[in-house]
Amino acid sequence: MKRTNTLIVEDAPALRTLADNCARLYNEVNYERRQAYIRYKRFEWYPKHLYEKYTPLVGSATAQQIINKNNEAWRSFLALKRLEGKGKLPPHITKVSLPRYWKRNGKRELRIVVRNDCYKVNGKHLYLPNGLKVRIKGSLKWYGKQGRLEIFYNDVDEAWMGFMTVEVEKPPIREGGKPLYIDLGVVNLAAVWFEVLKHPVAFSGRTVLADWWYWTRRIAKEQSRLARINKANASRRLRRLYRIRQRRFRHAVNAMIKTIVEDAAAFNISKIVVGNLKGIRDNNHNNKANTMINNFWSFNYIIQRIREKTEEHGIKVAEVSEHKTSSICPRCRSGKVIKRGRLFKCIDCGVEANRDSVGVLNIGLAWGTKLPAGAVNGAMARPLLLRWDGMKWKPKRAVNNQPMKTLEARISRLQPWKMSKADLFYVF
């Protein structure tokens, strides 16, 4: 499996010169191909004259990697054009545009692409082609067969970021364990349950959502200021606010997923079943709900991160539809229910429960699991609620100081998510 090490690279004049020449090569290759495609619908995949022109400036291997990088963009573009001709474009793509230049606000984007055998990381130094040696911050998290290294200048942070791909050994798939069920939401980002648990565990999204709304108001205020002063719609400060909002949300999500998956591995869970919320954005809601659903809810990102994290522990991931999972009684399967806030009441059998507990139990039933006798009654009580304090998830209410063999005990004893200074810089 492939993973990425993130590094902060120290600024150096030679690094800027190399990155500028790489951007010039990419843009020239892209310009010639755009013109050839517009006029003749075909172009050369190997521009030998540009390769020979920039080899003395960036090195033969780096020039080759820059051209390959542009090849990837054009192959993706041509594949999408073929799908567009067949009327089979993915629903999230409405227009297929020509590959863009490495340019922003009239300035070239400083980027470097280095082949896997042309660089070396040794302690706190990064060795690049042409004898270039620069200092780095951060430590390598993944070790294995190193792949391509990409370095670019982040004009928002005014820092050089390096992304080093690594191919690591994939752990064996777990077999024989019980499944764990996850119900995704907004008020509670996730409700987790499996048979060993006495009550479900819910990760409260209220603090995360409040933080997201705070930064949304800051963004709106900055947009209003830009429109009033110089009628602009973008600025470095605005991009920074967007980035802060996104990274703070993803920091909380990644810590949640890390907690769930590592505890699942500790309890020998072999499969995680996640509710699929496909089509949730098609429903009509009020303005505030639409804002949360379309901007705050990042379900594709959450499921992607669950798949990536479970892959490291050999746990399989499956998806099941969440349609009506919080609207059907898991005990009698009746649809005559009353829902108020997070409360759920079945009119037929009279059961009263938490909606997140009902949802995660119904996901298990939808998956085909036969819950043991008494599991429905016990698990439908109020879930153990964890809250985000900015660095870790903590239980809302205290847990008895007695030996506990369930996930509640493990969660209550979790250590803060240990991060390096480089990780903190990247997240915030």
Tell me the pLDDT tens digit for each residue of 268-288. Answer: 899 999 987 766 655 555 566
Least confident of 1-10, 51-60, 70-79, 349-358: 349-358
Contact yes or no for 132/151 (Cβ under 8 A): no
* Domain definitions of the chain by residue range: 2-167, 179-427
Confidence at residue 373, expressed as pLDDT on a 0 to 100 scale = 56
Q: Side chain identity at 318, as an amino acid letter?
A: A
- Strands (DSSP E) along 247-372, which ranges? 271-276, 316-321, 337-340, 343-346, 352-354
The two three-digit tokens of residue 21, written as one number: 């020449």
Q: What is the pLDDT of residue 360?
A: 85
Report the sign of the C-alpha dihedral through residues 125, 126, 128, 134, in that order: negative
Predicted confidence (pLDDT) per residue in 179-221, tens digit? 899 988 888 889 998 877 777 889 998 899 899 999 999 999 9
Residues 123-138 pLDDT 10s: 889 999 888 999 999 8
pLDDT tens digits for range 225-279 = 999 988 888 888 999 999 999 999 999 999 999 999 999 998 889 999 998 776 6
Least confident of 139-148, 278-287, 373-382, 417-426: 417-426
Q: Are residues 324 and 276 in contact, defined by beta-carbon separation less than 8 angstroms? A: no
- Tell me the average pLDDT across 320-330: 81
Worst-scoring range by mean pLDDT, 70-84, 113-127, 261-275, 356-370? 356-370
Q: Assign 19 a pLDDT band (cuts: 50, 70, 90).
A: very high
Residue whose structure tokens are 């705050």: 296
Q: pLDDT of 143-173, one tens digit each?
A: 999 999 999 999 888 899 999 999 999 899 9
CA 368 to chain centre: 29
Element (H, E) at 60: helix 60-86
- In this predicted structure, what is the pLDDT of residue 336? 83
* SS3 assignment, position 144: coil
- Cβ atoms of 180 and 195 within 8 Å: the answer is no
Question: For the purposes of burial, counting CB atoms within 10 Å of the CB of 283, is it exposed (0-12), middle (13-18) or buried (19 or more)?
Answer: exposed
Decide if pLDDT at 60 tops 90.
Answer: yes
Find out whether 65 and 148 touch, Cβ atoms under 8 Å.
yes
Residue 79 tokens read as 């594949």
Q: For residue 371, what pLDDT band results from cuts at 50, 70 and 90?
A: low
pTM: 0.81
